[in-house]
Structure 1
Amino acid sequence: MEIIESIILILSLLIIANIVSHYFVSIPPSLLQIAAGILAALFIHVKIYVDTEWFLLAFIAPILFNDGNNFPKRELWKLKGPILGNAIILVIISTVVGGVFVKWLIPQLPWAVAFTLVAVLSPTDPIAVESIAKKAHIPDKLMHLINGESLINDASGLICFKYGVAATVTGAFSLKNATVDFFYISIFGALVGGLMIWIFNGIRLYLINQGVDDSILHAIIQIIIPFIIYYVADDILGVSGVVAVVIAGILNISSSRNMSTFTPEIRLVTSRTWDLVVYMLNGIVFVLLGIEIPFAMEELVHNDNINTFWATILAFIIWIMLVVIRFLWSYIYSTFSNNGDGKIKLWSKARFDDCLMSGISGVRGAVTMVGVLSIPMTIKGGGAFPSRTLLLFIASAVIIFSLLGATFLIPILTKNSAPVAYRGSTFGADAEDLDDDDEPAPIALTQNEASRVILEKTIKKLRSEMDDGDTAVYSSVIAEYLYDLRNLGIQANNPVKTRQISKRRVRGKKDAELWDICFNCELDAVEELYDNQEISDESYDLAVRKIARYKKEIVHRSYNQTFEFFYSYFRRSYLQIKHIIYRSVNSDEIKQINQDTIKISIAGAKKALAKLQELNKSDHEDVDDNLIYIFQRHYEDRLELLQGKYRGRSPQFNSERMNLEIKALSYRRAFVQDMLEQGKISKSTANELRQNINYSEEVINIDVD
């Protein structure tokens, strides 16, 4: 009962603090959450004891998994050098140099405790700076660096913290054993995380393949994944659960990546559920911090030789030290890494300002607080953990100083201002509420039939505007609607199997026949290139085998669905791993094969397009015009990509496509209203159709964010 009461109280304090934050937008919500905890401790005398093991599992696992899940790999790959430098080398330097400095500041503090304190202060929270970036014009490169760094330094900082705590508790520490153990638990932790998320991804995809598309079920599966992975890695296998959940988050199928297999409803519900989870966990951490501060101050006065005022001064000095170390590292690294012309320029005002901003942007947040609250009460032999209350107070104060520093100093440096938020401090707007209380009226169309009519009208409307806009953008959106239209037709003919249809799979005889024609064209193109000696023997053999495999799997496939799914999933994973390994050990050879593959793909696409255009112009009754159109868009996209003209990945194209998608959804809403007014559908059916449109619109917003 005491646990339930504590949870209700903490959540109530969190709700009150966040309501107040809406009226005082200039004050960071996290500070108000801390204040709520302090007031509860002072006036209600609330005291909550935290168990180390379950606290790490309950907070570290989901927070780090979510960070990894939202990690923008493509954008940050260019900054892998500085990211790894900040996240690993800077953490080690800060721990060593900062530990020595803290020991000098507080001589009575044991060495292991000094290193433990600085290690737990290493992880940074990028969300506080992200909220400023939109209005304060922080450089995109710096924001990408902060995002990537925060993910990895959470893992490296917490591992260093774990060794510091272990050394304090046991009284023994071996640098050699710690180094070997560090690499062992990190490498195997990464392998465990990668293997387990591969299994979970396979399970989720298989459930979709079998028609199990309950959005709530998939959201629950996503939520329990990090807890299971952390528990298995840390408690059962004895490797790093922190690294495991980070790697699992990076490799997880997320709403911000390619999730065409999942319905918009699943993507929306899963994303919003994660928003809710991170929102609550982050708030709970800071409320707990506020509850702990008064007791830490009281115990500090009675049990330590440092008074509260001096401890606050020490915390401020330690924060300044962390900013200086971060600034110096950033300045030295940028000085010697940005010298493409071979000249080293020791002084640069612009670089100085950027590095100073980088130093101040190292805001400490939820992960630091989770770590310090997880410090055990006792050490080996039953004695109290040395200066635990002092560590808790200093860590809390450093978090507050770093938050206030970013709040006031970054806007000054950028000559702008914006409120600050932490992980989960912002929450997206919910989908539009729908009223379906009215009794359904007699209808002429079912929901499936109405959806087909609406899609057909939307496609017609888009085609009528096609000449006035960007043809490539319109073609891309129209092709997606044609896919949806075909899916509806197949679902209507197979009401038992209502799962979403993959664009890369064959679902009918006509599809298979058209694929066969296209594959034969690609094969002819390969033969011509080989006869003209434009490709190597190995490239020719690979291409022929690849096309033969496609014809077997797509055109002449006869597997049952379960076997086909797992065979395809295992094969894709095997080929991805093989490609990574092969590329790393045979770079020259793979480069030649890649060049030949591009030639083959371009020639095959041109041949197939010519044949499709021929079919489109001729009188044919056995092939649907829409089906030919879809195949043409497939090969046109391939040509644009291979010839370097693929605008689908440019920011301008994506922006125009997003605007057109939103415009198309507005057309669908209008058509729903027209059909409702004409009495062709009931109000409940109209609400269902609008809800699906709302889901699709929310998914667009999620992907853009």
Structure 2
Amino acid sequence: MEIIESIILILSLLIIANIVSHYFVSIPPSLLQIAAGILAALFIHVKIYVDTEWFLLAFIAPILFNDGNNFPKRELWKLKGPILGNAIILVILSTVIGGVFVKWLIPQLPWATAFTLVAVLSPTDPIAVESIAKKAHIPDKLMHLINGESLINDASGLICFKYGVAATVTGVFSLKSATMDFFHISIIGALVGAVMIWIFNGIRLYLINQGVDDSILHAIIQIIIPFIIYYVAEDVFDVSGVVAVVIAGILNISSGRNISNFTPEIRLVTSRTWDLVVYVLNGIVFVLLGIEIPFAMEELVHNDNINTFGATLLAFIIWIMLVVIRFLWSYVYSTFSNNGDGKIVLWSKTRFDDCLMSGISGVRGAVTMVGALSIPMTIKGGAAFPSRTLLLFIASAVIIFSLLGATLLIPILTKNSAPVAYRGSTLTSENEDDENDEDTDETPIELTEYEANRVILEKTVKKLRSEMDDGDTAVYSSVIAEYLYDVRNLGIQSRNQVKTSQISKRRVRGKKDAELWDISFNCELEAVDELYDNHEISDESYDLAIKKIARYKREIVHRRSNQTVEFFYNYFRRTYLQIKHLIYRSVNSDDIQQINQDSIKISIAGAKNALEKLQELNQSDSDGIDDDLIYIFQRHYEDRLELLQGKYRGRSPQFNSERMNLEIKALSYRRAFVQDMLEQGKISKITANELRKNINYSEEVISIGVD
């Protein structure tokens, strides 16, 4: 009962603090949550004890998994050098240099405890500056760097913290064994995280493949994944659960081809559920921080060696030290890494300002507080952990100083201002129309939901085609092709009476699909033969191309009858090819470069040959193939040509913005068609509500993608 009462109290304090934050938008919500905890501790004498292992499992696992899942992989891959430098080397330097500095500041503090304090202060919280990035004009490169290093330094900092705590508790520390153990638990932990998320991804995709598309079920599976991975890594394999959940988050299905297998409803519910979980967990951490501060201060008041004012001054000095170390590291690294012309410029005002902003942007947040609260009460032999109260107070004060520093100084440096938000404090409000209050009396149903949806999609396609001449043809063609996929998928669902997610663009569900793929692949084979006969490609490139097309024909045209066997075969093979591709890319040789050049040449020739054949089929009705299906295949090969010829705009900001606007416009057409059919009595109110709900989900998913 005491646990339940504590949870209700903490959540109540969190709610009150967040309500107050809406009236004082200039104050970071985290500071108000800390204040709520302080008031609760002072006036109702709340004191909460938490178990270290359970605390790490409950807070670190989901927070780091979510950070990894939201990791902007493509942009940050370009900054992998400085990210790894900040996340690993800077953390180690900060721990060593900072530990020596802290030992000098507080001589009575044991060496291991000094290093423990600085290690727990190493992880940074990037969300603290994200909300001001747009208005304060923080450089995109700096924001990407902060995001990337935060994800990895959470892992490296907490591992260093773990060793510091272990050395303090046991009194034993060996640099050699610690280094070997560090690499062991990190590498094996990464493998455990990668393998387990691969298994979970396969399970989720298989459920979708079998028509299990319950959005609540998929959201629950997503939520329990980090807890299971962390527990298995720590308790079964005795490796770093932190590294495991970070790698799992990075490799989790969140973008690209696989995410399109999930319905908009699943993606929306899962995203909003994660927003809620992270929102609550971060709030609880800062409320607990506030509850701990008065008791830490009370013990400091009765401490003859140091008083509260002295501890606060120490915390401020330590924060300044962390900012200086971070600034110096950034300045030295950028000085010697950005000299492509061979010239080293030691002084640059712009670089100085950027590095100063980088130093101040190293805000400490939820992960630091989780680590600090997890410091054990006792050491080996039953004695109290050395200066635990002082460590907790300093960690809390440094978090507050870093929050205030970012809030006050970053707008000054950028000559602008904006409120600061933190992990989990940016939950978007929903403004969906309430469609559930309509009368549920049924009217005679003219069309089923499948039939009505198909009619609406076909009308939308017709409307978009009528506007194509007045807009960007490539954008319209892209959106129309996606709608035609949906139309075809609905036809398959209505025949099979099975509700599934959108079919894969390469999945064969009908005889005509297989016929058209067979024709296209034959055209590609003819192009390969012509290039080889003209001596334009090598023997090895020719063999690889023939084998690749033959494999596609086996998998797509002559697919296996058992869908389960087919799914797992393709899933294993796709994983194998991805690993092979990574290894393949890491090798740099003239042979591989030649094969890559030949591969591009083969793909271009094959796409052109297939397009010519598809154009012939489109002008002739003798084959009896649906024009919409031919259109889909044409878009597939046109996209391939644009990509290979450097004309592909599918990833450019302008193209994505125009496509998003057109998708929203198309959804408005669908809403209007739903209303027309309802007024004409062609569908019931229940069917109309379901159709509107799906449209709302699709629109919300577009908004999530933009955010």
| Same fold at TM > 0.5 | yes
Which residue of structure 1 aligns with residue 175 of structure 2? Answer: 175
Q: SS at 1:172's partner residue?
A: coil
For 2:628, the aligned partner's letter is N
Q: Is the 8 A contact 2:209 2:500 kept in 1?
A: no
Q: Is the 8 A contact 2:452 2:683 kept in 1?
A: yes
For 2:446, the aligned partner's letter is A
Which residue of structure 2 aligns with residue 264 of structure 1? Answer: 264
Which residue of structure 1 aligns with residue 642 of structure 2? Answer: 640
1:41-83 residue CA offsets vs partner (Å, 9 max, x unmatched): 0011101001100000000000000000000110011111110
Which residue of structure 1 aligns with residue 580 of structure 2? Answer: 578
Q: Is the 8 A contact 1:255 1:267 kept in 2?
A: no
Cα offset, 1:206, TM superposition = 0.4
Q: Percent identity?
A: 89
1:471-513 residue CA offsets vs partner (Å, 9 max, x unmatched): 0000000000000000000101110464432111101000000
Cα offset, 1:40, TM superposition = 0.5
Which residue of structure 1 aligns with residue 559 of structure 2? Answer: 557
1:467 to 466, 469, 472: 469
Q: Is the 8 A contact 2:617 2:623 kept in 1?
A: no
For 1:527 and 1:460, the matched residues in 2 are separated by 40
For 2:14 and 2:256, the matched residues in 1 are separated by 28
Cα offset, 1:555, TM superposition = 1.0
Which residue of structure 1 aligns with residue 53 of structure 2? Answer: 53
Which residue of structure 2 aligns with residue 671 of structure 1? Answer: 673
Give matches, 1:538-557, under 5 Å.
538-557=540-559
Give matches, 1:686-697, under 5 Å.
686-697=688-699
1:615-662 residue CA offsets vs partner (Å, 9 max, x unmatched): 111133520000000000000000000111000111111111111111
Which residue of structure 2 aligns with residue 514 of structure 1? Answer: 516
Which residue of structure 2 aligns with residue 234 of structure 1? Answer: 234
For 1:302 and 1:325, the matched residues in 2 are separated by 33
For 1:632 and 1:135, the matched residues in 2 are separated by 43
Which residue of structure 2 aligns with residue 490 of structure 1? Answer: 492
For 1:247 and 1:500, the matched residues in 2 are separated by 28
Which residue of structure 1 aligns with residue 447 of structure 2? Answer: 445
1:427-451 residue CA offsets vs partner (Å, 9 max, x unmatched): 1222433224402322211111111
Q: Is the 8 A contact 1:255 1:271 kept in 2?
A: no
For 1:299 and 1:588, the matched residues in 2 are separated by 69
Cα–Cα, structure 1 residues 304 and 66, in superposed 2: closer, same or farther, change >3 Å? farther
Q: Is the 8 A contact 2:486 2:502 kept in 1?
A: no
For 1:589 and 1:132, the matched residues in 2 are separated by 49
Q: Is the 8 A contact 2:67 2:249 kept in 1?
A: yes
Give matches, 1:234-253, under 5 Å.
234-253=234-253
For 1:583 and 1:464, the matched residues in 2 are separated by 45
Which residue of structure 1 aligns with residue 436 of structure 2? Answer: 435
Which residue of structure 2 aligns with residue 456 of structure 1? Answer: 458
Q: Is the 8 A contact 1:256 1:703 kept in 2?
A: no
For 2:566, the aligned partner's letter is E
For 2:513, the aligned partner's letter is D
For 1:434, the aligned partner's letter is E
For 2:618 and 2:496, the matched residues in 1 are separated by 28
Q: Is the 8 A contact 1:523 1:547 kept in 2?
A: yes
For 1:475 and 1:611, the matched residues in 2 are separated by 19
Cα–Cα, structure 1 residues 304 and 258, in superposed 2: closer, same or farther, change >3 Å? farther
Which residue of structure 1 aligns with residue 22 of structure 2? Answer: 22
Q: Is the 8 A contact 2:83 2:148 kept in 1?
A: yes
TM-score (norm 2): 0.98
Cα offset, 1:552, TM superposition = 1.3
Q: SS at 2:376's partner residue?
A: coil
Q: SS at 1:420's partner residue?
A: coil
For 2:320 and 2:561, the matched residues in 1 are separated by 65
For 2:341 and 2:220, the matched residues in 1 are separated by 53
Cα offset, 1:299, TM superposition = 1.5
Give matches, 1:323-362, under 5 Å.
323-362=323-362
Which residue of structure 1 aligns with residue 116 of structure 2? Answer: 116
Q: Is the 8 A contact 1:436 1:683 kept in 2?
A: no
For 2:606 and 2:364, the matched residues in 1 are separated by 54
For 1:641, the aligned partner's letter is L
Which residue of structure 2 aligns with residue 533 of structure 1? Answer: 535
Give matches, 1:341-420, under 5 Å.
341-420=341-420
Cα–Cα, structure 1 residues 388 and 152, in superposed 2: closer, same or farther, change >3 Å? same
1:154-175 residue CA offsets vs partner (Å, 9 max, x unmatched): 0000000000000000000000
Which residue of structure 1 aligns with residue 6 of structure 2? Answer: 6
1:566 to 561, 565, 568: 568
Cα offset, 1:329, TM superposition = 0.6
1:547-571 residue CA offsets vs partner (Å, 9 max, x unmatched): 1111111112233000000000000
For 1:240 and 1:434, the matched residues in 2 are separated by 47
For 1:34, the aligned partner's letter is I
Cα offset, 1:683, TM superposition = 1.7
Cα–Cα, structure 1 residues 650 and 64, in superposed 2: closer, same or farther, change >3 Å? same
Cα offset, 1:590, TM superposition = 2.1
Cα offset, 1:303, TM superposition = 4.2
For 2:545 and 2:334, the matched residues in 1 are separated by 45
Which residue of structure 2 aligns with residue 133 of structure 1? Answer: 133
For 1:668 and 1:135, the matched residues in 2 are separated by 35
Moved more, 242-251 or 693-702: 693-702
- Which consecutive residues of structure 1, in runs of 5 or more, have no partner in the other structure? none
For 1:170, the aligned partner's letter is T
Cα offset, 1:578, TM superposition = 1.3
Moved more, 113-122 or 620-629: 620-629
- Which consecutive residues of structure 2, in runs of 5 or more, have no partner in the other structure? none
1:628 aligns with 2:630: yes
For 2:697 and 2:623, the matched residues in 1 are separated by 37
Q: Is the 8 A contact 1:210 1:499 kept in 2?
A: no
Q: Is the 8 A contact 1:255 1:703 kept in 2?
A: no
Cα offset, 1:588, TM superposition = 3.1
For 1:139 and 1:585, the matched residues in 2 are separated by 34
For 1:130 and 1:248, the matched residues in 2 are separated by 23
Cα–Cα, structure 1 residues 619 and 556, in superposed 2: closer, same or farther, change >3 Å? same
Q: Is the 8 A contact 1:256 1:702 kept in 2?
A: no
Cα offset, 1:13, TM superposition = 0.5
For 1:617, the aligned partner's letter is Q
Cα offset, 1:258, TM superposition = 4.7
Q: Is the 8 A contact 1:255 1:702 kept in 2?
A: no
Which residue of structure 2 aligns with residue 67 of structure 1? Answer: 67
Q: SS at 2:260's partner residue?
A: coil
Q: SS at 1:343's partner residue?
A: coil
Q: SS at 1:632's partner residue?
A: helix
Cα offset, 1:342, TM superposition = 1.3
Which residue of structure 2 aligns with residue 685 of structure 1? Answer: 687
Q: Is the 8 A contact 2:212 2:500 kept in 1?
A: no
Q: Is the 8 A contact 2:262 2:501 kept in 1?
A: no
For 2:209 and 2:354, the matched residues in 1 are separated by 49
